[in-house]
Amino acid sequence: MILFTNARIFDGTGKPAFSGDVLIEGDEIKAVEHGRISAGDVKVIDAQGTTLMPGLIDAHAHLSLGSSVEKITPPGRHSFEETVEIIAHCGRVILDHGFTGAYSGGATLPAAEVAAARDFGQGIRPGPRMRTASFERLASGEISPNSTFTSRDDRPSDPAGVTAFIEEMADLGVDTVKFLLGGVSAFDAGANLVPQFHADELAAARKAAETRGIWLTAHAYTPDAIGLAVNNGFRVLYHCTWADEASLDLLEANKDRISIAPGPGIAEADLLVAPKFGIMASPAQVAEQQETVERLKTVGTELRKRGIRSLPGGDYGFPWNPVGRNGRDLELFVDWFGYSPAEAIRAATQTAGKLMATERELGVIAPGAHADLILVEGKPDEDISLLTNPAKLRAIVASGRLHKS
């Protein structure tokens, strides 16, 4: 058992912080008291001068892309064993930075991600609690830096192929399947706005996913993509940068079942850093990304005002946007979208915890909840920048295991 005593507790629910003790037994918070807790054989951590809060959860993680603040992994094909090691490295880095949960936004090798996530869960390797994903599906198959994106109107619909993909990924044991409903402008200028899938293909995806008990995730920038995703049972939508009034209304009408990860981190990195890597460096791509940033600021602010569930998670894992910078999304939720620091933390804890759909409550400090916690110097609910500095993390508990103390 672990006892945090003399803590300033920010419990993730949005309530004001309070002083108290928290007792952990295994992967469960056993007690939370505004006063002192008396316990027998426990490891005691004096939390005086710090804030105890739920561990952060990244809603759009790409651990298998492999680049972290410690090591850049060039893109390319890797074996199963190499990919497991890549994910293990990035899993340890994201955990070191206070993210005890990760919802995958796509894997380069899904079977390897499933294996690494299993190791994290069993404590064989240090890493976050994970929800795993398929690779990012195009109509033509798997994405690569050489991909070009022609419109769905230039090919016949293939519902059977989409169903087969769902079946293949479900057999590998992934939690979620991701579809690129538009192209990727990082590889092909303007492609984010080019539609990739027909409506009947996504209807087939919904039926197959419901049958196999897995979730659907969408790379969706445009009103067309947003409408297709919402109307076909997709659970998580990434970006939504060009949402118009009608699509925002649709998201608001479905806000009890839809989560959005707008991804400000990747938008900022694509504009400011990617050109240094030779990515999105053409004048057309730079201009597109400048517009993307301005549009995203408007849309992210509107999502907040409408109470639509928005989650931090900014495509971290690329060389120009590496794992370990994940806390930057919380800063951008404050700076771009108008969240208070406490609201941004709640989005990355309690709200994101619901996305993970675990057997017990996640992302809060409450009796019976999962024991994923971080101890932070200072008051991050007042100064969000503290969560971008791993040196400010005095302790990290993941699945009840003390990763750092």
CATH number of the domain at 56-326, out of 3.40.50.150, 3.40.50.300, 3.20.20.140, 3.40.30.10? 3.20.20.140
Is the pLDDT reported for residue 81 higher than 90? yes
Taking 90 as the threshold, does the pLDDT of residue 322 lie above it?
A: yes
What percent of the chain is modeled with pLDDT above 90? 87
Q: In what order do the strands lie in the sheet with 133-138?
A: 141-142, 133-138, 176-180, 215-220, 236-239, 259-261
Show the tokens assigned to 236: 């998580």
Reported confidence tier of residue 38, pLDDT bands at 50, 70, 90: confident
Residue 96: pLDDT over 80: yes
DSSP string covering 243-281: --HHHHHHHHHTTTT-EEE--HHHHHHHHHTGGGGTSS-
Task: Please work out, in degrees rounded to the nearest 5, the angle formed at the alpha carbon of residue 126 by the alpha carbons of 124 and 355.
Answer: 105
Q: For the chain, which residues make up each domain, given as ranges?
A: 2-54+361-404, 56-326
Do residues 364 and 349 make contact, with C-beta atoms less than 8 angstroms apart? yes
Going by pLDDT thresholds of 50, 70 and 90, the confidence category of residue 142 is low
Instruction: Give the model confidence (pLDDT) of 203-239 as tens digits.
Output: 999 999 999 999 999 999 999 999 999 999 999 999 9
Position 405 pLDDT exceeds 90? no
pLDDT in tens, 266-313: 999 999 999 999 888 999 889 999 999 999 999 999 999 999 999 999
Taking CA atoms, 38 is separated from 20, 41, 51, 370, in Å, by 12, 10, 20, 21
Query: Which helix (H) or strand (E) covers residue 44, if one does?
Result: strand 43-46
Residue 145 in this model has a pLDDT that exceeds 70: no
As given in the structure block, the two tokens for residue 293 are 């940033």
Q: Residue 116 is which amino acid?
A: A
pLDDT above 70: residue 25? yes
CATH number of 2-54+361-404: 2.30.40.10
Which tens digit of pLDDT belongs to each residue from 232-268? 999 999 999 999 999 999 999 999 999 999 999 999 9
Q: Which tokens hold the place of 308?
A: 């639509």
Full DSSP string of 311-349? -----BTBTTB-BT-TTHHHHHHHHTT---HHHHHHIII
Q: For 219, list phi and psi in degrees, rounded to 5.
A: -80, 105
Q: Map tokens 């507790």 to a residue.
A: 9
Give the separation between CA 199 and CA 204, rounded to whole angstroms: 9
Mean pLDDT across the chain, nearest whole number?
A: 95
pLDDT greater than 90 at residue 185: no
Strand pairing report for 393-398 and 401-404: antiparallel
- pTM given for the model: 0.96
CB proximity list for 357: less than 8 A, separation 6 or greater? 131
How many CA atoms, within 13 angstroms, populate the side-chain half-sphere of residue 249? 3
Whether 385 shows a pLDDT value over 70: the answer reads yes
Across 61-65, 192-196, 310-314, 324-328, least confident range:
192-196
pLDDT band at 136 (very low <50, low <70, confident <90, very high): confident
